[in-house]
Amino acid sequence: MGINLEAFFEHTKNSALEQFHPQLRQALHQHYEQKTHGRSLEWDTALNAMPQLDKAPFTFTQDSVTISKPDDLQLDHSAYKQHLKAFMPWRKGPWNLLGVEIDTEWHSDWKWQRIACHISALEGRQVLDIGSGNGYFLYRMLGAGARLALGIDPTRIFLYQFHAAQRLLPPNGAHLLPLRSEHLPAFGSFDTVFCLGVLYHRRSPIDHIQELMSYLRPGGELVLETLVVPGDIDTIFVPPKRYAKMSNVWFLPSTQALENILHKLGLEDIRTVDVTQTTTQEQRATDWMTFHSLADFLDPSDPNLSAEGHPAPLRATIIANKPF
C-alpha cells in the first residue's frame, strides 16, 4: 500500500519546484515505491486504523507538537495509543497527538530552542530539512512562519510517524519525502536549508556541504548542526572504529575546522552560534524508545568520554550564507 505523497506535488504545482517534479517522481519510484519494508503491512494497518481529521486544534509553537482531540470525536484512547506504539521507536519529539503524550528519546525541543533564536526569521520562507527524521522540526518551522517545510529522510518508519500527525491536520506546508539528499536535484531556490545531525554520518562531508549549498537560493541561509570535537583549525577526528557505539560516524571536526571548510567552499558570514554537550536528560530511553540510549554510549565512570574513550558527544550549530 504505502503512503500517498501526492500532497507535496499538489502544493508545489505552479511554483519554482514544479520543474523538478519529474526527477523527484523518478527518485521516489526507484528508492521508495520499488522497495518494500518488512514492517510495511503492520505500519499500514496501524495508520489506517487511526482517525483522519481536518479540524483538530493544533499548536506548533510549544515544545510539544500538539494536535488536540476535537470535542466531538469519540476516541478509544488506549487503542489509539497502541496504534501509535506500532511506530516505535519514536526518537524525535515530543508530540501530543489527540491527548497521547509521546515522550521521545530526544528532547528535540531543546535543540530547536538552541537554534531558533539564531536563524533568520522563517516567516514566509520556503525551507528544506535534510535528514528530517519524523518531521518534528518541520512543524516547528511552520510554527515559526515557514510557508513550505520540506523534509527529506530515507528511513521509512519516520515517514509513518510523520503521517500519524499529518492525517490529523488539514492540508498544510509540511511535507516529507523518503529520499536521500543524494537523490535531490540542485534546487537553487530554498531560502533556508537545515541539516541537523547528518554531516557526521556522511563519508564525503565536503561533498555533502556542496550538495546543501546547491539547494539554496543565492543569499539563502545554511543551518548546519553536527557533532564536533574540541580542537583548533587543524583538528578533524575520524573515529577508527565506533563512536559512542555508532558504527556510521565518519567525520568529527572542531568548530574552527568546520568553519574553515565552509569558508573554503565560498560560504559567507559564517558563525558558530551554539556548542552544547549532549546530556542524558536530552537523549534517553523512554517508554516510546526502549533501546539503549546515550547513558549506554558513554564511559560509565566518566560522562565526558564516549564508551570508546573519545570525547563525549558535543554538538555545534553553524550558520552561514550562500553568496549572491
Ligand X SMILES: C[S@@+](CC[C@H](N)C(=O)[O-])C[C@H]1O[C@@H](n2cnc3c(N)ncnc32)[C@H](O)[C@@H]1O
* Contact pattern from residue 223 through residue 262 relative to ligand X, giving x for each residue in contact according to CB under 6 A and a dash for the rest: ----------------------------------------
Spacing of C-alpha 288 from chain mean position? 18
Least distance from ligand X to the Cβ atom of residue 53, Å: 26
Question: Which residue number, 182 or 302, has a Cβ lying nearer to ligand X?
Answer: 182
175 binding ligand X? (CB under 6 A): no
Query: Of the listed pieces 3-11, 178-186, 271-279, 282-290, which binds ligand X according to CB under 6 A?
Result: 178-186
Those residues whose C-beta lies under 8 Å from the C-beta of residue 315, and which sit 6 or more positions away, are: 111, 197, 225, 226, 227, 228, 274, 275, 276, 277, 278
133 binding ligand X? (CB under 6 A): yes
Least distance from ligand X to the Cβ atom of residue 55, Å: 30
Least distance from ligand X to the Cβ atom of residue 139, Å: 13
152 binding ligand X? (CB under 6 A): yes
**Coil vs helix vs strand at 107:** strand
Least distance from ligand X to the Cβ atom of residue 179, Å: 7
Beta bridge partners of 93: 107
Among 181, 192, 255, 278, binds ligand X (CB under 6 A): 181
114 binding ligand X? (CB under 6 A): no
SS3 annotation, 15-55: CHHHHHHHHHHHHHHHHHHCCCCCCHHHHHHHHHCCCCCCC
- Strands 95-97 and 100-102, how do they pair? antiparallel
Among 197, 214, 233, 236, binds ligand X (CB under 6 A): 197
Question: Total binding residues for ligand X by CB under 6 A?
Answer: 19
198 binding ligand X? (CB under 6 A): yes
Cβ–Cβ under 8 Å, residues 91 and 289: yes
Cα dist. 62→109, 140, 259, 275, 292 in Å? 8, 8, 32, 23, 28
Least distance from ligand X to the Cβ atom of residue 233, Å: 25
The side-by-side arrangement of strands in the sheet containing 58-59 is 58-59, 65-67, 95-97, 100-102
Query: Of the listed pieces 41-49, 55-63, 190-198, 273-281, which binds ligand X according to CB under 6 A?
Result: 190-198
131 binding ligand X? (CB under 6 A): yes
31 binding ligand X? (CB under 6 A): no
Identity (one letter) of the amino acid at 278?
T
Question: Which residue number, 100 or 212, has a Cβ lying nearer to ligand X?
Answer: 212
Cβ–Cβ under 8 Å, residues 256 and 232: yes
Backbone angles phi, psi at 224, to 5 degrees: -115, 120
Interaction site with ligand X (CB under 6 A):
92, 106, 108, 130-133, 152-155, 158, 180-182, 196-198, 201
